Every structure is written in structure tokens, then in C-alpha cells.
Structure 1
Amino acid sequence: MAREVQITFDCADPAALAAFWAEALGYRLQDPPAGFESWDQALDAFGVPPEKRNDRSAVIDPEGSGPRLFFQRVPEGKQVKNRLHLDVRSAPGLEGEARMAALEVAAERLVSHGAARLRRQEPAPPLEAGYIVMADPEGNEFCLD
């Protein structure tokens, strides 16, 4: 039996990181619970004080096929390289220079939204198609693949 998966990010600013990943993946912020027109309205009803309202955030795939991404505030910052990372498929079906050009366009777009470019891995046929290693605004590594 297949299981549903949620990807959770520990972070310092859940709202900002959720907005970044929504942009990176074409996701959207998760709607507030049924019966509420906004998250502020829901959080007021739940008694969440203003200083706790950026403790969590989530984004979802508008098509409903990708995993939910959940962002939770933690007190400590990122310490070392991730052992797990996301590959953002930014050039499906492309090869060689066309592939790398598409990855460069994706990298520039994400840098304009707060990402950092870490390095470019050139194609090395037959097994390596080339990719760009990036970091989100809180330093979590991911690849444009």
C-alpha cells in the first residue's frame, strides 16, 4: 500500500520559506480550515497569540499530486550540509546545452526570490546530465535537475 508523504522543513521563518518553496515549485499556500476566510481568522478562533502565528506554514501542489511541504520554526539554525535534499526538475527532456541553459534560467529566477547559487556540475555523459546546486533562503541545499 502506497503512503502519502509530507516533507517537513525545520526553519527560522516558516512564512518566508513557505513562500520561497511555493514559488520554486509552483505550489500555493494551504487554505485555512473550512469555515474560515483567512488564516488570521482561524488563528484568532483557535486562540493563537500574534507572536506564535509564524511558527508553522504549509504549501500544497495545486494539482494535488505532489507532497505537502510543512515548515516549522525551530530555535537552532542549520548546522551542516543536508543529508536529504530536493531535486527540482527544471529541464525535463532536455539535454546538453539546452538543458544547462534551462537550468540557468531557473537558477536566476530563484536567486531573485532569495536562493543562493552554490555550484554548477557540467554534463559528463553517459551518466551525468548536469545540474546546479542551490540553497534556499535558510541555506537548505537543493538541486536544479
Structure 2
Amino acid sequence: MARDVQITFDCADPAKLAAFWAEALGYRLQDPPGDFASWEEALEAAGVPPERRNDASALRDPDGSGPRLFFQRVPEGKRAKNRVHLDVRAAPDLEGEARMKALEEEAERLVSHGATRIERHEPDPPLGAGHIVMADPEGNEFCLD
């Protein structure tokens, strides 16, 4: 039996990191529960104190095909390289210079939203198509592939 998958990010600022990944992936903030018009309204009604209203955030793929992304506040900072990372498929059908040009354009766009560029890996046929290693605003590594 296939299972739904949720990807969880431990972070310092769930709202900020969710906004970055929404921009990077074309996802959107999960709708508030019930008939609430906003998360602020829902959290107020639930009695969540203002200082706890950024403890978590979640994103959904608008098409419903991708996994839910969940961001939870943790007290400790990132300490080491990720053992698992996301590959953002920014140029899956392109090769060579056209592929790297598309990846460079996406890297520039994401840097303007708070990402950091780490390094570029040139195409190395037959197995290496080329990619760019990036980090999100809290230092979590991901690849533009």
C-alpha cells in the first residue's frame, strides 16, 4: 500500500521558511481550518498566544500531487550537512548549456528570495547532467537539478 509523505523541516522561523519554499516550489500555504478566513483568526479562536503563532506552518502542492511540507520551530540551530535533501527539478528535460542556463536563472531567482548559492557542478556525461547546490534561508542544502 502506498503512503502519503510529508516532509518536515526543523527551523527557527516557520513562516519565513514556508514562504521561501512556497516560492521555490510553487506551493501554497495550507488553508486555515473550518470557516476561518485566516490562520491568525483560527489561532486566536483556539487560544494560541501571539508568541506561539509562528511555531508551525504547512504548505500544499496546489495540484495535490506533491508531498505536504511541514515547518516546525525548534530551539537548536542547524549543526551539520543534511543527510537527506530536496532536488528541485528546475530543468529536467534540458541538457548541456541549455540546462545549465536554466539552472542559473532559477538560482538567481531563489537567491533574490533568500537562498544561498553553494556550488555549481558542471555536466559530466554520461551520468552527470550538471546541477547547482543551494541552501535555503536557514542553511538547509538542496540541489537545482
- TM bucket, shorter chain: over 0.9
Displacement, 1:75? 0.2
Residue 95 of structure 1 corresponds to 95
Residue 122 of structure 2 corresponds to 122
Identical-residue share of aligned pairs (%): 80
Displacement, 1:126? 0.1
Displacement, 1:35? 1.5
> For residues 23 and 9 of structure 1, what CA distance do their matches in structure 2 show?
16
Task: Output aligned runs, 1:41-120, within 5 Å.
Answer: 41-120=41-120
Q: Cα deviations across residues 51-101 of structure 1 (Å, max 9, x unaligned)? A: 000000011100011000000000000000000000000002100000000
Task: Output aligned runs, 1:1-80, within 5 Å.
Answer: 1-80=1-80
Number of equivalent positions: 145
Q: SS where residue 57 of structure 2 aligns? A: strand
Structure 1 moving runs of 4+ over 2 Å: none
Q: Letter of the 2:15 partner, please give it.
A: A
> For residues 39 and 27 of structure 1, what CA distance do their matches in structure 2 show?
17
> For residues 45 and 55 of structure 1, what CA distance do their matches in structure 2 show?
16
Structure 2: runs of 5 or more not aligned: none
Q: SS where residue 92 of structure 1 aligns? A: coil
